[in-house]
Chains A and B, each alone.
Chain A
Amino acid sequence: MKRSREINSLISIGIVGLIILFGAPLSLDLFSVISLTTAISLAILALSLGLIWGFGGILCFGQTAFFGIGGYAYAIAALNFGGSTGAIIAAVLVAAAAAAILGYFMFYGRLSDVYLAVITLTVTLILYSVIRRTSGPEYKIGIAKLGGFNGINVPPINYPWDATQFLYPEHVFYVAMVALLLAYFLCVWLTKSHFGRVCVSIRENEVRTELLGYDIRFYKLCMFTVGGAIAGLGGIMFANSIGRITPDVFNLYNAALAIIWVIIGGRGTLIGPVFGALILFYLTSFLGRQAVVNINLFLGLVLIVFVLVVPKGIVPSLVELWDRRKSRRMTARSARRMRRRGRSRVKEVQVED
């Protein structure tokens, strides 16, 4: 029964995803579609962190590093290759490779969780300050100038292998949404596989997993690398939706934001972080337009409230609430049935009398 519920929820997520995929460009104006594309790219980042933190127990405070690397690698590769098809593949690979290299030192060096969080955060902050300082014309890779704090203008995605046909923003939305759906179902498949279940056991108890004969360093490294690749994919979509990639993707604000999405949406689920990112994106942009509260203050408050009141996050809490209501309704129904049966028995007795 548990399994069928899981399948049902996956199917409904898929349907909702398809509705958004085909419905949004028809019903929304161009500006909304573009901002939705941005939100989706951030949701992909949230998903990647939800995967490695929720299912691998790896608290990466600098998941934005791979997001930003993906975006930058895409921009640089697309400029140099003169087309986006190879650039997308290259950018995902570069982000994955960056995660693999960093992960190798962290996991094979057997760093504990706290150091891991600090190091990943430091890496993203180092990238932030290094790339900010690359404004001179001498800082370039191929023909792509890094552009310092102004960043790089990102060439838009084109049709596969045809660099003359650029995609319009509403088409970029389709690509982003499909990327999110593919990444989501890849993560679902991964967490159901033997590999994913071993990763969950590592999250639960590292020593035990190791004493069962699993090389936990290797499992964590693989998980981290997949997370890096997905974050890189998000970065590519982000760069495309904005049309520009700047060092700000690496800053502390964004690094912390990714953590907050996962906490709010629900760690240990995959859809939770996606929701968390979407909700906060729209909430902060709404509040930004109102300009009544300081957004950082607001985010801090949200985080405190969630940690204190809804520590499991939105999605797991909603599921729990739903289950409790359902079981209460079930018991109420069966109680009613019992009462009815009791009454009819009384009637029978009377008839017999």
Chain B
Amino acid sequence: MLETRSLSMHFGGVVAVNRVDFSLRENELRCLIGPNGAGKSTFFKCLTAQLRPTSGEVVIRDFNVSGSESHQVARMGVGIKTQVPNLFDGLDVEENIWLSASQSASLKRSRVITSEVIERLQLGDVRKSQLGSLAHGQRQLVELGMVLAGEPWLVILDEPTAGMTQEEVIRTAEIIREINKSATMIVVEHDMQFIRMIARKVTVFHQGQILLEGDMDEVSADARVREVYLGHRKTS
């Protein structure tokens, strides 16, 4: 359903993503992990057409994403959450979610979706609060709500738990599993504990390439992965 064919992204002389072949089946929940600078975020930006790859292509449901604009990708029914919270700080929670819902749904239907999403994420108390005044974890939650409100069939999340408390992480994991019932997902993450909560299949990035792909147990048992994550054991 989603496929990249020898996808590469160069910044000047730096190769951030190097000939990556990646594929995703319908209803899968895939985690992308890897140390800092492994190319996860660049890969994410190529998937969502925020960056135009140097070579290779990204195909989502027979549609070649590589040459298009990111709003076109989103309009296909792809829900996207970026790494830094990307919200409308001057607007209230309701408006934020409504703006997402009303992109594809009718005005009447989007009001219904908005209140459903707010209820589902238990954001009722802050529905009229400005986004800028909310705590970090709540903001992340609202952004998940915006993804939900678009009723996507493919969801791509970049570090959804960054800066969250333990409790919020658990709640987010629940929400992600629930979204996965109706949508295919890619989650880019750092937090191994969180990945353990949600992941079935994991793709490990290292130096712009796929190092390994497999079950969580398989991956965490792998010596190469440990080395990449924990640094050069041999020298220490």
List the interface of chain A (C-beta within 8 A of B).
194, 197-198, 200-201, 203-205, 207-216
Contact status of A211 and B99, CB under 8 A, knowing A194-B107, A204-B91: no
* Chain A residues with CB under 8 A of B104: 213
Q: What CA separation (Å) do A207 and B102 show in the bound complex?
A: 17
Is B48 part of the contact surface with A, judged by Cβ < 8 Å? yes
Question: Does A194 lie within 8 Å of B102, measured CB to CB?
Answer: yes
Distance to closest chain A CB from B162 (angstroms): 16
Shortest CB-to-CB span from A112 to chain B, Å, is 16
Q: Is the CB of B103 within 8 A of A205?
A: no
Q: Smallest distance from the beta carbon of A193 to chain B beta carbons, Å?
A: 10
Cβ–Cβ contact B95 & A197, under 8 A: yes
Q: How far is the CA of A204 from the CA of B96 in the complex (A)?
A: 11
Interface pick from B30-38, B80-88, B182-190, B219-227: B80-88
Q: Report which of B82, B91, B98, B103 forms a contact with A214, defined as CB distance below 8 A.
A: B103
Rounded to whole angstroms, the CA-CA distance of A326 and B90 in the bound complex is 23
B95 and A205: CB pair below 8 A? Answer: no
B129 to chain A, nearest CB (A): 13
Cα–Cα distance between A200 and B98 once the two chains are bound (Å): 13
Assuming A212-B146, A213-B74, what are 20 further A-B pairs, CB within 8 angstroms?
Answer: A194-B102, A197-B98, A200-B88, A200-B90, A200-B91, A203-B90, A205-B86, A205-B89, A208-B86, A208-B146, A210-B70, A211-B70, A211-B71, A211-B74, A211-B80, A211-B82, A211-B86, A213-B71, A214-B71, A215-B71
Nearest-CB residue, chain A, relative to B77:
A213
Whole-angstrom CA separation of A211 from B50 in the bound complex: 9
16 A-B residue pairs with CB within 8 Å: A197-B98, A197-B99, A200-B90, A200-B91, A201-B91, A203-B90, A205-B88, A207-B82, A210-B71, A212-B74, A212-B150, A213-B71, A213-B72, A214-B71, A215-B71, A216-B71
Flag if B89 contacts A204 (CB, 8 Å). yes
Residue of A nearest to B90 (CB): A204
**What's the nearest-Cβ distance from chain B to residue A102, in Å?**
21
Residues facing A in B67-119 (CB within 8 A) are 69-72, 74-75, 80, 82, 86-91, 95, 98-100, 102-104, 107
Q: How far is it, in angstroms, between the C-alpha of A198 and the C-alpha of B99 when the chains are bound? A: 7
CB distance from B45 to the nearest CB of A (A): 11
Residues in chain A near residue B89, CB distance under 8 A: 204-205
Best-surrounded residue of B50, B87, B88 (most CB of chain A within 10 A)? B88
> With A and B bound together, what is the CA distance between A135 and B72 in angstroms?
50
Question: How far, in Å, is B152 (CB) from chain A's closest CB?
Answer: 10
Contact at B102–A205, with CB atoms within 8 Å?
A: no
In Å, the complex CA distance between A197 and B103 comes to 11
- Return chain B residues, CB-CB under 8 Å to A211: 48, 50, 70-71, 74, 80, 82, 86
Q: Chain A residues near B102 (CB, 8 Å)?
A: 194
Interface centre among A203, A210, A212, A216 (most CB of B within 10 A): A212
**CB-based contact A213/B103 at 8 Å:** yes
Contacts A210-B70, A212-B103, A213-B103: A205 and B146 contacting too (C-beta < 8 A)? Answer: no
B217 to chain A, nearest CB (A): 34
Query: Chain A residues near B72 (CB, 8 Å)?
Result: 213
CB distance from B60 to the nearest CB of A (A): 14
* Smallest CB gap from A205: residue in B: B88
- Bound-state CA distance A93–B87 (Å) is 36
How many Å lie between the Cα of A203 and that of B89 in the bound state? Answer: 10
